Amino acid sequence: MSALPPGSTIGILGGGQLGRMLSLAAARLGLKCHVYSDVPGGAADVAAASTVAPYENTNAVRAFAGSVDVVTYEFENVPLAAAAAAGEAAPIRPGPKALAVAQDRLKEKSFVSALGIPVAPFAAVDDDASRDAALLAIGESGILKTRRFGYDGKGQVRIRNAAELAPAFETLRRAPSVLEGLVPFAYEVSVLVVRSLAGEIRTYDIPLNTHKDGILDTSTVPSPLPPAHAARASDIAGAIATALDYVGVLGVEMFYLPDAPEPLVVNEIAPRVHNSGHWTMDACLTSQFENHIRAVAGWPLGPTGRHSDVTMTNLIGHDVDHWQALAAEPDSALHLYGKPDARPGRKMGHINRLKPRT
Ligand code: AMP
């Protein structure tokens, strides 16, 4: 289990801002990145090499993997056939099991719940019969979510009464879905956990997350989560990482219900670096990006401790037009992703506003 020496090349499936920030972190450690994406630009602008080809082109994926020392990924919808093709030519970390579980809400909820970890009540909705059965099992108010390809609140419809379920299923074009019971949470938190090749686990401090129009708006650290519950949240994330035999950074999104017997309910897992961990770039010695690179390259993990308080704010769409004012702010770090057009809802960058640690 030897570490890849500086000069080695990490292949990244996916070419968005997460791949870009992974490439920058790798470069700082003397490692190169080769980005494989179906569109040019993005992460490829800062990587040592790039391939632009469809993920469905398994021959291209295999050739890419054959030219690098290890393969990782920066989005959870990497087709499993592409991950398998990459795995034939290079180690792939995290392994494809994490992808298979995270790509499908039903598998994800079943997997987490089988570990004895609380999730929202859920039932599969595949057809009229299972739809009606789900209503009986879950009750009249909930959220119908597609099993696959949902993100940032897309692919889901809120149900307020029984009559709304059938039209909601039609709105989702009868895609295989899950009906979830509503969780009356006080707020949402996420745990960024990193697991090394040798199985060592470290977690970052837990941010409080707010959303706007279904998209992450801010992550603030420290969160008001009491220490005992923060420890429980970290244990839950560690247990999931271990059960997946995971290598790298895993994001675990949770609902927090302070007075419930089980105060932390897992909503979603993201088998990659996560938007709610972008604050680690400036408030920690080792960012989530560097620790992901360290883990997949077989290096020792870096410290996850935090030296500052911080609020990360996403710059969505035209928020980025204020880049000059943002760049002039004191005690802040601006990160722009180099995307050409500021479409509404598009993540264009983020700003980390720091304060001395309280
Ligand atoms: P998701 O795409 O699963 O991350 O859901 C997007 C957002 O919808 C979450 O961040 C929550 O704010 C809300 N949400 C999702 N599932 C539930 C639930 N079961 N109960 C209450 N709110 C939810």
Distance 98 CA to ligand 1 centre (A): 21
Ligand 1 within 6 A of CB of 66: no
Domain ranges of the chain: 9-92, 121-181, 187-356
**Cis-peptide into 340, omega within 30 deg:** no
Closest atom of ligand 1 to CA, residue 184: 21
- For range 274-297, the mean pLDDT: 98
DSSP state of 197: T
Give the homologous superfamily in CATH for domain 121-181.
Answer: ATP-grasp fold, A domain (3.30.1490.20)
Ligand 1 pocket residue status of 182, Cβ below 6 Å: yes
- pLDDT tens-digit map of 62-71: 999 999 999 9
Confidence of residue 255 (pLDDT cuts 50, 70, 90): very high
- The response to whether residue 183 sits with its C-beta less than 6 Å from ligand 1 reads yes
Ligand 1 pocket, residue 252 CB under 6 Å: no
How far apart are the CA of 129 and the centre of ligand 1, in A? Answer: 25
- Calculate how far, in angstroms, residue 221's C-alpha sits from the geometric centre of ligand 1: 21
Residue 30 three-state SS:
coil
Ligand 1, atom 5: nearest CA belongs to which residue?
Answer: 153
| pLDDT (0 to 100) of residue 1 | 60
| pLDDT tens, position by position, 165-188 | 999 999 999 999 999 999 999 999
Q: Which two tokens stand for residue 260?
A: 């419930």
DSSP state of 269: E
Please say if the pLDDT value at position 152 is more than 70: no
- Using the mean position of ligand 1's atoms as its centre, give its distance from the Cα of residue 267 in Å: 7
* pLDDT of the residue at 77: 93
Q: Using one digit for the tens of pLDDT, what is the confidence trace for 176-227? A: 999 999 999 999 999 999 999 999 999 999 999 999 998 999 999 999 999 9
For the Cβ of 268 lying below 6 angstroms from any atom of ligand 1, the answer is yes
Q: For residue 297, how far is its CA from the centre of ligand 1 (angstroms)?
A: 34
Question: How much distance in Å is there from the Cα of 34 to the middle of ligand 1?
Answer: 34
Assess contact for 230 and 203: CB atoms under 8 A. Answer: no
Q: Which of 23, 5, 26 lies closest to 14, judged by CA?
A: 23
pLDDT band at 154 (very low <50, low <70, confident <90, very high): confident
The tokens describing 194, both together, are 């990193």
Compute, in angstroms, the gap from residue 152 CA to the centroid of ligand 1: 9
pLDDT (average), residues 274-294 = 98
What's the CATH number of domain 9-92, 3.40.50.20, 1.10.3720.10, 1.20.1080.10, 3.40.50.300? Answer: 3.40.50.20
Confidence band, pLDDT 50/70/90 cuts, at residue 120: very high
Does ligand 1 have an atom closer than 6 angstroms to the CB of 95?
no
pLDDT recorded at residue 150: 77
**Does 304 sit in the ligand 1 pocket, CB within 6 Å?**
no
Which ligand 1 atom lies nearest to the CA of residue 120? Answer: 19
| Rounded distance from Cα 135 to ligand 1 centre (Å) | 18
Are the C-beta atoms of residues 43 and 74 closer than 8 Å to each other?
Answer: yes
Fold classification of 187-356 is: D-amino Acid Aminotransferase; Chain A, domain 1 (3.30.470)
Closest Cα to atom 8 of ligand 1: 153
- Could you tell me the sign of the dihedral formed by the alpha carbons of 317, 153, 12, 115, in that order? positive
Tell me the average pLDDT across 244-271: 97
Is 69 near ligand 1, meaning CB less than 6 Å away? Answer: no
**What's CA 18's distance to the chain center, in Å?**
9
Q: Compute the distance from residue 147 Cα to the ligand 1 centre, in Å.
A: 14
141 token code pair: 């108010």
- Coil, strand or helix at 247: coil
pTM for this model (two decimals): 0.96
Query: Does the Cβ of 108 fall within 6 Å of ligand 1?
Result: no
